[in-house]
Amino acid sequence: MLIFTTAAELRAYAEQARAAGRRLGLVPTMGALHEGHLQLVRAAAQACDEVIASVFVNPTQFNNPDDLRLYPRLPEQDAAALAPAGCTVLFMPTVSEVYPQPAVLRFDFGALEQVMEGAHRPGHFNGVATVVSKLFHLARPHVAYFGQKDFQQVAIVRQLIADLSFDLKLVVFPTVREVDGLAMSSRNARLSPAARAVAPLLYQVLQQAATQVRLGVPPAQVQQQALAALAQESAFIPEYIEVADAHSLQPITSYEAGRPVVLCVAAHLGGVRLIDNMVVE
C-alpha cells in the first residue's frame, strides 16, 4: 500500500493509473476506522483495480470546535487496517495540504440542506461538498463509495455529482452495526461504558418507529412517540427525529404509495453526538 501525504503525489498517481486503464475506487473517510469503513474498502477492492482511501479529519465540515478537537485520530492503526482490506493507496494529507488557502467557494444545496444535519450543523455540508469535490479532482475515481449511515450526506454527494457533472459512479453501502444494533461510528469510541450500554436505544427507537410507519401511523405521531421513547433514557438529549421523504428528505405529513420514507435521528449522549437512520420502503 502506498501512502501519499501531498495532493500532487495523489494526482500524479491517479492520472497514471487511469491512463494505464486501471479502474479506481475512492473511499473518503475521517479515519478512526471501523468495520463500516472497511466494508466499503473491501467492496471497492472487489470492483476496482486500485482502492484509494483518504483519511482526513476535514475541519471545514465541523461546526463545533470541541467535536473537531476531540475527534479520534489513529493514523497508524488506520494504515494497518487498510492494507489487508485491499486498499492500495492511502491519502493522509495535512489540513494545509488540502486547504493551502481557505476555500472561498460556497455550496448551496437548497431544500436538501435546510433539514436535519444541514439545519442543525450550519456549514457542515458546505465543508463536505468542498472536501469531496477536492478528493474527486485529486483521486479521479471511476467509483466513489459512501455509507448510508450518513443518509443526508449521500443525498448531498449525489446532487454534487449531478450538478458538477463528476464522471463517476456513486455506490452506497448499508449501515454496519454492532451486534446490539448501534451503528458503528468513529465517535462511539468516545462513549463512556455507561453511555455505550444505553446507546442501542437509538436503533431500537428507529425500529419501533419503522414498525409504526409500516402500520400507517401518521408521521407526526410516529415522531412524537419516538421522541418520548428516547426521553425514557435521561442520558439522551435528542436533537431531532424526522419522518421524511427518502428522496427529497423533506418532512412528510402523510404517506404516499411507492414513496419510501426515511427515519432520521440525531441525539447527544454523554457529550457525544450520534446519528442514525432507517429507510422504510
Point out the residues that are catalytic. Answer: 37
Minimum CB distance to ligand AMP smaller for 29 or for 223: 29
Does the footprint of ligand AMP cover residue 141 (CB under 6 A)?
A: no
Does the footprint of ligand AMP cover residue 25 (CB under 6 A)?
A: no
Interacting span for ligand AMP (CB under 6 A) from 36-44, 95-103, 131-139, 215-223: 36-44
Using DSSP's 3-state secondary structure scheme, residue 156 falls into helix
Does the footprint of ligand AMP cover residue 274 (CB under 6 A)?
A: no
Smallest separation (angstroms) from ligand AMP to the CB of 108: 22
Interacting span for ligand AMP (CB under 6 A) from 101-109, 110-118, 146-154, 208-216: 146-154
Does the footprint of ligand AMP cover residue 42 (CB under 6 A)?
A: no
Smallest separation (angstroms) from ligand AMP to the CB of 55: 8
Separation between Cα atoms, residue 138 and residue 142, nearest integer Å: 12
Separation between Cα atoms, residue 184 and residue 33, nearest integer Å: 10
Give the full edge-to-edge strand order of the sheet including 169-173.
2-4, 89-91, 50-55, 24-29, 143-147, 169-173
Binders of ligand AMP among residues 57 to 116 (CB under 6 A) are none
Smallest separation (angstroms) from ligand AMP to the CB of 154: 7
- Amino acid 278 reads M
Separation between Cα atoms, residue 168 and residue 126, nearest integer Å: 20
> Which residues make Cβ contacts (< 8 Å) with residue 69, sequence separation at least 6?
none
Written as nine digits, the cell of 272 is: 457525544
User: Which string of x and - marks every residue 170-209 that binds ligand AMP (by CB under 6 A)?
Assistant: ---x-xx------xxxx-----------------------
Using DSSP's 3-state secondary structure scheme, residue 259 falls into coil
Q: Facing residues of 124 across strands? A: none
Smallest separation (angstroms) from ligand AMP to the CB of 23: 19
Does the footprint of ligand AMP cover residue 262 (CB under 6 A)?
A: no
Smallest separation (angstroms) from ligand AMP to the CB of 5: 18
CA-nearest of 69, 81, 93 to 39 is 81
Minimum CB distance to ligand AMP smaller for 125 or for 223: 125
Distances (CA, A) of 179 to 50, 121, 176, 203, 211: 31, 29, 10, 11, 20
Give contact residues for ligand AMP (rule: CB under 6 A): 29-30, 36-37, 40, 146-147, 149-150, 173, 175-176, 183-186
